[in-house]
């Protein structure tokens, strides 16, 4: 979906603030966290991608268990808001969503550092350091996958022939991974944007519309789907996008094994160090401190619940949590990265030129 023009964005912002007026009243903010959540009948988790993907599933599972661990057991409603690889939803959360603790989102891991990496090219309308970080259910790594019917199935062969890679937004990690290999390894990977989410992109590969895609996460339904296709001999994994190798795929090289230049490797360590954020849950800035603390506590209780672990295992989803305080620290560390490393990353992931 195209980004809003400045004028339309201001109108949307004003409309959202007006709509949120009752929630932002002095009475609402005068309540303690316990009083506030006991009074809440419904809460919202925004998902920056279409229904059916791993972000969507993690959000729905988390909503179920957060409800059980908050006073009053409010019902969580999932609101899918695809667009720009998750950028549309992040801008909405920061600028329009009520800042009272009733709304949160599960954020694509590439989005928090998009302003850092893309500068003026970024469509971000937020300060990532001001979001309220609640936690992530997983630490992540990425995978490059391609149909066996594609004209090339290895990185070396992808230097010789163009490979169409489906993406949902140009600032997301999947699109950035393709630009990375084109720049550092001489591949001919062509990003084709317009897919609402990972599920739609994988379906496009399955139907032959696309040759392949980069999964920016290796924890949910996408992992299970790809593993099944690889086992059937229909798809191949051609590279692992992370600092460490998945033990289930010892013969597939990592990006760190493929790229050998020491300066490039320093930049890659920064880029892939972000993956520990996984699929973070975050809330708008300026939440009352006690409500932020209560959301973080409810997140931890949910993660510790054996029933949640069993639910995720049943759906073949991973669980390797990062808690809110750690997520906040990681974001601060990323934005404190030395300027020469950031500039190297900016040159590497540049959208145009």
Do 164 and 249 fall within a single domain? yes
Do 295 and 264 fall within a single domain? no
Could you tell me the pTM of the whole model? Answer: 0.73
Lowest mean pLDDT among 261-275, 286-300, 325-339: 261-275
Q: Give the count of domains, the chain.
A: 2
Do 167 and 128 fall within a single domain? no
- Buried b / exposed e over 45-66, threshold 16 CB at 10 Å, is bbbbbbbbbbbbbbbbbbbebb
Q: What is the CATH number of the domain that holds 291?
A: 3.40.190.150
- Domain end (from 223, 240, 273): 273
Do 108 and 196 fall within a single domain? no
Q: How confident is the model at residue 307 (pLDDT cuts 50, 70, 90)?
A: very high
Lowest mean pLDDT among 14-28, 115-129, 312-326: 14-28
Q: How confident is the model at residue 105 (pLDDT cuts 50, 70, 90)?
A: very high
Q: Which domain, by its residues, includes 52?
A: 6-139+277-338
pLDDT per residue over 155-196, tens digit each?
999 999 999 999 988 878 899 899 999 999 999 999 999 888
- Domain end (from 231, 248, 273): 273
- Domain end (from 273, 288, 311): 273
Lowest mean pLDDT among 8-12, 218-222, 336-340: 8-12
Residue 350 lies in a domain: no
Q: How confident is the model at residue 352 (pLDDT cuts 50, 70, 90)?
A: low
pLDDT for the residue 13: 44
> Which of 107-116, 182-191, 244-253 is the most confident on average?
182-191
Do 252 and 211 fall within a single domain? yes
Do 135 and 282 fall within a single domain? yes
Do 314 and 215 fall within a single domain? no
pLDDT for the residue 139: 85
Do 176 and 88 fall within a single domain? no
pLDDT per residue over 38-94, tens digit each?
999 999 999 998 888 888 999 999 999 999 999 999 999 999 999 888 999 999 999
pLDDT for the residue 309: 94
Tell me which residue has tokens 């980069």.
Answer: 214
Residue 343 lies in a domain: no
Do 283 and 198 fall within a single domain? no
pLDDT for the residue 10: 42
pLDDT for the residue 60: 96
Higher pLDDT, 20 or 141: 141
For residue 310 the two structure tokens come to 């069993």
Residue 348 lies in a domain: no
Q: What is the CATH number of the domain that holds 238?
A: 3.40.190.10
Do 216 and 265 fall within a single domain? yes
Q: Which residues pair with 76 in a beta bridge?
A: 43
Residue 352 lies in a domain: no
Do 155 and 250 fall within a single domain? yes
125 alpha carbon, distance to own chain's centre: 17
Residue 169 lies in a domain: yes
Residue 157 lies in a domain: yes
């Amino acid at each position: 979906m195209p980004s809003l023009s400045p004028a339309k964005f201001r109108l949307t912002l004003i409309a959202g603030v007006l709509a949120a007026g009752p929630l932002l009243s002095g009475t609402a903010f005068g309540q303690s966290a316990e009083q506030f959540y006991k009074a809440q009948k419904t809460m919202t988790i925004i998902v920056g991608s279409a229904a059916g993907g791993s972000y969507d599933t993690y959000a729905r599972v988390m909503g179920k268990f957060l409800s059980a661990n908050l006073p009053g057991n409010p019902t969580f409603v999932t609101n899918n808001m695809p667009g720009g690889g998750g950028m549309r939803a992040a801008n909405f959360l920061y600028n329009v969503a009520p800042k009272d603790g009733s709304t949160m989102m599960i954020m694509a891991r590439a989005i928090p550092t998009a302003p850092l990496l893309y500068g003026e090219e970024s469509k971000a309308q937020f300060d990532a350091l001001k979001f309220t970080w609640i936690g992530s259910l997983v630490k992540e790594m990425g995978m490059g996958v391609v149909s066996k019917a594609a004209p090339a199935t290895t990185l070396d062969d992808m230097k010789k022939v163009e490979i169409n890679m489906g993406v949902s937004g140009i600032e997301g990690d999947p699109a950035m991974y393709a630009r990375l290999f084109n720049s550092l390894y001489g591949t001919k990977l062509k990003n084709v944007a317009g897919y609402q989410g990972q599920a739609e992109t994988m379906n496009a590969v399955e139907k032959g519309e696309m040759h392949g895609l980069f999964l920016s996460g290796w924890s949910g339904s996408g992992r299970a789907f790809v593993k099944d296709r690889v086992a059937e001999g229909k798809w191949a994994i051609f590279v692992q996008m992370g600092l460490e190798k998945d033990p289930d795929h010892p013969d597939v090289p990592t990006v760190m094994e493929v790229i050998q230049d020491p300066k490039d490797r320093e930049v890659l360590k920064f880029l892939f160090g972000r993956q520990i954020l996984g699929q973070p849950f975050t809330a708008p800035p300026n939440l009352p401190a006690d409500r932020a603390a209560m959301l973080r506590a409810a997140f931890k209780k949910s993660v510790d619940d054996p029933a949640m672990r069993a639910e995720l295992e049943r759906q073949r989803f991973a669980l390797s949590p990062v808690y809110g305080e750690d997520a906040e620290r990681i974001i601060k560390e990323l934005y404190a990265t030395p300027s020469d490393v950031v500039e190297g990353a900016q040159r590497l992931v540049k959208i145009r030129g």
